[in-house]
Structure 1
């Protein structure tokens, strides 16, 4: 019908006709342009999401939006352009200087400490692990971390039977916290009135009605339904090695380091029985659901006791060494036990008959959990989670809940900032992370000792690692495979740098040797010897920096900074009596930036002329890490107590401070991607990721 057809001056939705003067814009590119000129911020932001539908014209609108007066418009345009591959987009992003708008984005997953407590939900879907760096909640089927609770140093965790609530506990002061397991939100904190004495053990009854906190001379009893402290019993308990609570919350058993088991009536506070028979400290206790028997592990045996009389009913013998952990199936028909002989034994709990013996390859002791359906059991060492089939003893799944077990020593990034490379602690591995999610991509094995430093080539094809095993390894980024190993250092290697074209590598060790390598052939070109400032100061090479033109090399030891002619391997000049731990060369090759080691706490960053070594200016502050933006305009300075500051490298003025985030912050290791879009800093064994929100 004619009345439904567009007229001469109508703008067709999705069309490219120019809008008439005073006309009503209905849609299309012209409509998006019109909304972009609106005074309403939300309308302008919404229009940005549409312009990519209009090809190159829409792309140009987004690029123009990077220069908008509104920071929110800039950020929205940036987020839409971030992963585009067009060259004009990449150039626009380079000029955009995203570091002006950096914020904390996320932290990588995994513990940086050994797991000390754990729990599995009744449906076997959720695993909770606790360590000194907090509590992490995992999907047990996918091995993905769901969230992190910023709650340090838990010593006990328990999941309610309905899978909705998590209880975590500190031993210090007897504090407990209840969390919504689905959202990670804190529900309530429970703390006894008398918190002068530390709690040594905490346990929750299987029906989740009662929680008990054991101290040296008293026991706190909580009603979890009302979340109230019911009473405190004045009982001398001594230091207990393990505890067990009856399902009705009325009987408590405690194993001690004097090899005895004591049993208390929690209604009266009286000691019911003392069980003697183990010849070493008790490592595991459980009270049967019918409250008639106690199961204990200690020395090399498992013992079954009559709870009422205290008499020994049965002893299971089969381990060659001391039992350190055990678990009982929910139907109380099966018990599995693990000893320091590295064997797991499955028993019939009623008869004591051995049903199977399984070999564990893990070198550390671990905890055991049997799933509620009785099909599987789970072993958790300091960081490895294995799921076993209970019937066959076969491992059906395994994953790591660790980031790096120890503080990260070095970070590097792919040129696009999407992949993070890390090493640290006593860990001989290199880990790869997705900066967009914080999740681990893979773990690379090859070094035989701790990896101390990493550096990536600017073209993103390779990265290089160096280790305490005195070797350097070249890795292919695409295949995540080792390409070659460079051997020649006489001591641990602690510093690396690679030139802009990726052909020359410099490496420094604790003996003061600096080796320069041809990366195309893998051959050593020459060796330089770092000076020793005195006989009393180590001359180890702690940091290296190659100038952008590849003609100069800067190196530092504890009290000496040297600059070399890299082309002929001769010293240009040396600066003595300087406390240096970190050095960088600006992207334009003009400045040499040095900062003292954290141990010296001189709190000074010095900017020098690279050509002459003459000091230009200094920055003050508690410094323990630095890096420079690729455009050479921003100096990022990390401080353990002050967060992160961004200085104008050319003027020395403070540009901005990055707002602290909820996690424990520790700088000292910083890296920024070549495109300037992602900044990373260490957080113990994890990585904090910064960028445009």
Structure 2
């Protein structure tokens, strides 16, 4: 007997309950039945019929390549609910064509605020999410570092020790070490492993132990930004004292000072290969610095070159995963894209009507996210340079955000004294 994909199978849906199916095609089985259910105009259908379409999408994956094509086509369905289901079903596929389709699709239209919580009278200036996407770490003008369960916002533990506002946080690639800096001019390095297995904690329990490994001093003014050179375990810090300092992350040993900016260093970023350090400043300039191949080698104190084009402070930087493109966000309300190896200005993204405070680039290098004093988070496609979506809801300027390694959720903080988590509902 031949294997006909259009014939009903055990997992197919048959319309009509106990009533014998008519011969005019009301049997919604097989690939043909899946096609019929998906062909309905879902924008005008009842919730029951939309539910039938969603079931049909899931069944389509039982029919190989032809069924997979139906799921891809559903990304253009009139119903956002159908589109969202199709997008979710395709997430587990690694075939190049599916990856390309998803890169060209805009999932951010489904993002909404999943929850928010008050930080009382404190403003959060820095947020980081652990590499496993399970926890978020935040710090602000309450001088406390708070570790939360990312899924529900429950506080797992806190770190105390700073005597001034916390302006910047950075996690090591393995998620075990946390670095913080701020107004008190110190860098503090913490063992995040003291949090332990948060999943085993009771709802009211907190982890004890201060977790502080060591404190670094050397800057004479506030520390605005930190980064870690992953292949060498070097810590980089930028300060209001116009300088960048490098430290051995394992020992806390001071390594070098980079000077060249004429005003405060507001942002730093490291290329994925660990070869270049990029810094942005209140002197409106961006400088690129060559880093050594090995931690023991001397660090060149002079920048390779300087990028100019912004007309106000350069507050944030981000680099694409391939190390080719640098994005810079400024108090002049623009985002500029630069060819990193030549310093050529490629394009300028205009849309924010307030200063750009924070940026991040997706792991696939296709999308850039930015937040601003204008109370919005904006998402851009780096290939087309078009804005994909804008998230609004905060009632004050957005100070910073962080994105989970898999692209969602996104966590943002604002001068409205709230932290919000954005993503797609299940």
Matches within 5 A, 1:44-123: 113-123=122-132
Q: Which runs of 4+ in 1 moved over 4 A?
A: 109-112
Q: What CA deviation, in whole Å up to 9, does each residue of 1:165-201 have, x standing for no partner? A: 3222345444322223425542520425xx3723533
8 Å CA contact retained: 1:211, 1:221: yes
Q: CA distance change for structure 1 residues 123 and 132 in 2, over 3 Å: closer, same or farther? A: same
Q: How far, CA to CA, are the matches of 1:304 and 1:200 in structure 2?
A: 26
1:381 equivalenced with 2:406 (yes/no): no
8 Å CA contact retained: 2:282, 2:313: yes
Q: Which has the larger radius of gyration?
A: 1
Q: How far, CA to CA, are the matches of 1:361 and 1:187 in structure 2?
A: 33
Matches within 5 A, 1:181-580: 181=193, 182-183=195-196, 185-192=210-217, 195=218, 197-198=220-221, 200-205=223-228, 207=230, 209-215=233-239, 216=241, 218-224=243-249, 226-229=250-253, 231-237=255-261, 238-266=263-291, 267-298=299-330, 299-382=332-415, 383-389=417-423
8 Å CA contact retained: 2:225, 2:238: yes
Q: CA distance change for structure 1 residues 315 and 112 in 2, over 3 Å: closer, same or farther? A: closer
Q: How far, CA to CA, are the matches of 1:363 and 1:346 in structure 2?
A: 19
Gaps of 5+ in 1: 1-108, 398-693
Please give the secondary structure, in 1, of the residue aligned with 2:304: strand
Give the aligned partner of residue 86 of structure 2. Answer: none
Q: How far, CA to CA, are the matches of 1:175 and 1:358 in structure 2?
A: 33
Give the aligned partner of residue 201 of structure 2. Answer: none
Q: How far, CA to CA, are the matches of 1:248 and 1:357 in structure 2?
A: 32
Matches within 5 A, 1:132-143: 132-133=141-142, 134-143=144-153
Q: What CA deviation, in whole Å up to 9, does each residue of 1:280-320 have, x standing for no partner? A: 32222123333332111122322111222211012222334
Question: Higher strand fraction: Structure 1 or Structure 2?
Answer: 1
User: More relative contact order in 1 or in 2 (CA 8 Å, sep 6+)?
Assistant: 2
What displacement does 1:261 show? 1.5
Count of matched residue positions in the alignment of Structure 1 and Structure 2: 281
Q: CA distance change for structure 1 residues 280 and 171 in 2, over 3 Å: closer, same or farther? A: same
TM-score by length of 1: 0.38
Gaps of 5+ in 2: 1-117, 197-208, 292-298
Q: What CA deviation, in whole Å up to 9, does each residue of 1:494-547 have, x standing for no partner? A: xxxxxxxxxxxxxxxxxxxxxxxxxxxxxxxxxxxxxxxxxxxxxxxxxxxxxx
Give the aligned partner of residue 167 of structure 2. Answer: 155
Matches within 5 A, 1:174-185: 174-181=186-193, 182-183=195-196, 185=210
8 Å CA contact retained: 1:256, 1:281: yes
Q: How far, CA to CA, are the matches of 2:373 and 2:222 in structure 1?
A: 28
Q: How far, CA to CA, are the matches of 1:163 and 1:228 in structure 2?
A: 18
Please give the secondary structure, in 1, of the residue aligned with 2:260: coil
8 Å CA contact retained: 2:225, 2:266: no
8 Å CA contact retained: 2:354, 2:373: yes
Q: What CA deviation, in whole Å up to 9, does each residue of 1:303-362 have, x standing for no partner? A: 111222211012222334433332222222111222333333211123312222333342
